[in-house]
């Protein structure tokens, strides 16, 4: 992996939107370890078990509120923005259609427009998803050049955002800001409590006294990858983009060979072998494959980031991916809120030194 440079990040003013979410927390602590001056902006949430901040500098604002967002960004004057805030789930997207489109699309446009006119902001990285590609069900591996599409509202809102990002890049002739879109696969790691994600379901079952668990779509394949491989990739890209406008563009963040074709049921089997209890209470729902609201397979090509950014995933084995994440979840569940940041610090320092 290309080394992460503390000199570059020292005192760099950074804003993370969605800092109270799963990836946002890991990114917050990672950037603080590198010496950055990190600010976070998220919507205020009632569910403190799912969304909480590990930062001292917190702003609470809905990204749909252009005027309030502008005031906050003008106050912070960030040099680099990581935009992670989103309605980030496929299934709730079907029910919360207006919120999904207005947050993921218009909220992001608000941010882009404000960042473009902000005096200090030079770089903005926008997280979209691997689900922005048109899935023809012919098992192709998506490259950054693959056709955009999106069957469900979540995917469509992010694909629409990709088109808008390209337009912002095209019309930004004087490169007022340098923009990159980040298309990551399914991220696995401790501390993700968002509903309908495989690790959350397994962890809630194991650690929170649930009696039984039915897993949907056991044969689905996703580009699973470790959260710190993704987050450190985002950081490397931000640094490169800050230094050179040739890094403007779109990037897939996905797993290497060994993790590319892992099915949901294999993840579940690995998990079962790690935990001794209630194994036979986890069952698979085989009926909903044909009428599933989610794509069956997604294959993501990660050659561009490997070549251009010279980065490598450190966690390449499914067993390690799941056991490492499970260890973090277990540690988090045994740690009181005041000390939770230490769990993150320990894991990131271990990862950096591996």
Ligand X SMILES: NC(=O)c1ccc[n+]([C@@H]2O[C@H](COP(=O)([O-])OP(=O)(O)OC[C@H]3O[C@@H](n4cnc5c(N)ncnc54)[C@H](O)[C@@H]3O)[C@@H](O)[C@H]2O)c1
Q: Contact between 225 and ligand X (CB under 6 A)?
A: no
Q: Is 223 in the site for ligand X (CB under 6 A)?
A: no
Tell me: does residue 93 bind ligand X (CB under 6 A). no
**Closest-CA residue to 129 (of 178, 182, 89, 172):** 182
Residue number, 34 or 125, with CB nearest to ligand X: 125
Does the protein bind ligand X through residue 88 (CB under 6 A)?
Answer: yes
Choices 62-70, 207-215, 243-251, 254-262; region in contact with ligand X by CB under 6 A: 62-70
List the one residue from 2, 45, 273, 283 that touches ligand X (CB under 6 A).
Answer: 45
Residue 194 binds ligand X (CB under 6 A): yes
Q: Is residue 299 a contact point for ligand X (CB under 6 A)?
A: no
Q: Which is nearer to ligand X, 23 or 122 (CB)?
A: 23
Per-residue x/- track, 66-85, ligand X (CB under 6 A) = ------------------xx
Interface with ligand X includes 51 (CB under 6 A)? yes
Interacting residue with ligand X among 42, 157, 220, 250 (CB under 6 A): 42
Shortest CB 227 distance to ligand X, Å: 8
Supply the minimum distance, in Å, between the C-beta of residue 291 and ligand X: 23
For tokens 């890094």, the residue is 247
Segment contacting ligand X by CB under 6 A, of 135-143, 180-188, 290-298, 310-318 = 180-188
Number of residues that bind ligand X (CB under 6 A): 26
Write down the least CB distance from residue 1 to ligand X, Å.
20
Among 9, 15, 24, 81, binds ligand X (CB under 6 A): 24
Please state the three-class secondary structure of the chain as a single string.
CCCCCHHHHCCCEEEEECCCCHHHHHHHHHHHHCCCEEEEEECCCCCCCCCCCCCCCEEECCCCCHHHHHHHHHHHCCCEEEECCCCCCHHHHHHCHHHHHHHHHHHHHHHHHHHHHCCCCCEEEEECCHHHECCCCCCCEECCCCCECCCCHHHHHHHHHHHHHHHHHHHCCCCCCEEEEEEECEEECCCCCCCCCHHHHHHHHHHCCCCCEEEECCCCECCEEEHHHHHHHHHHHHHHHHHCHHHCEEEEECCCHHHHCCEHHHHHHHHHHHCCCCHHHEEEECHHHCCCCCCCECEECCHHHHHHCCCCCCCCCHHHHHHHHHHHHHHHHHCCHHHHHHHHHHHHHHHHCC
Site string for ligand X, 108-137 (x = CB under 6 A): -------------------x-x--------
Chain residues binding ligand X by CB under 6 A are 18, 20-24, 42-43, 45, 51, 62-64, 84-88, 103, 107, 127, 129, 184, 186-187, 194
């Amino acid at each position: 992996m290309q080394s992460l440079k503390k000199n570059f990040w020292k005192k760099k003013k950074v804003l993370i939107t969605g800092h109270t979410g799963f990836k946002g927390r890991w990114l917050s602590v990672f950037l603080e370890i590198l010496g950055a001056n990190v600010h976070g902006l998220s919507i205020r949430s009632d569910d403190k078990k799912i969304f909480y901040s590990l930062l001292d500098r917190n702003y609470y604002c809905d990204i749909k509120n252009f005027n309030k967002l502008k005031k906050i960004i003008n106050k912070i004057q960030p040099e680099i923005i990581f935009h992670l805030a989103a309605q980030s789930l496929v299934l709730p997207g079907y029910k919360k259609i207006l919120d999904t489109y207005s947050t993921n699309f218009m909220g992001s446009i608000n941010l882009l427009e404000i960042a473009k006119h902000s005096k200090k902001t030079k770089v903005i990285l926008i997280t979209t998803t691997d689900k922005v590609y048109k899935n023809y069900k012919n098992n192709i591996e998506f490259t950054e050049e693959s056709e955009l599409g999106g069957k469900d509202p979540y995917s469509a809102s992010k694909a629409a955002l990709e088109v808008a990002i390209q337009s912002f890049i095209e019309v930004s002739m004087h490169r007022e800001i340098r923009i990159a879109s980040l298309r990551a696969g399914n991220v696995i790691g401790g501390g993700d409590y968002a509903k309908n994600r495989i690790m959350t379901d397994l962890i809630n079952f194991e650690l929170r006294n649930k009696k039984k668990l039915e897993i949907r779509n056991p044969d689905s394949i996703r580009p699973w990858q470790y959260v710190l491989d993704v987050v450190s990739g985002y950081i490397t890209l931000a640094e490169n983009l800050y230094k050179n406008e040739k890094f403007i563009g779109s990037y897939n963040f996905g797993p290497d060979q060994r993790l590319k074709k892992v099915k949901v049921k294999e993840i579940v089997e690995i998990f079962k072998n790690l935990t001794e209890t209630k194994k036979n209470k986890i069952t698979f729902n085989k009926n909903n494959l044909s009428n599933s609201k989610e794509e069956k397979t997604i294959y993501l090509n990660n050659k561009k980031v490997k070549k251009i950014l010279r980065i490598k995933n450190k966690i390449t084995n499914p067993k390690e991916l799941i056991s490492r994440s499970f260890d973090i979840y277990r540690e988090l569940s045994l740690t009181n809120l005041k000390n939770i940041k230490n769990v993150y610090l320990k894991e990131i320092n271990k990862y950096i030194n591996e």
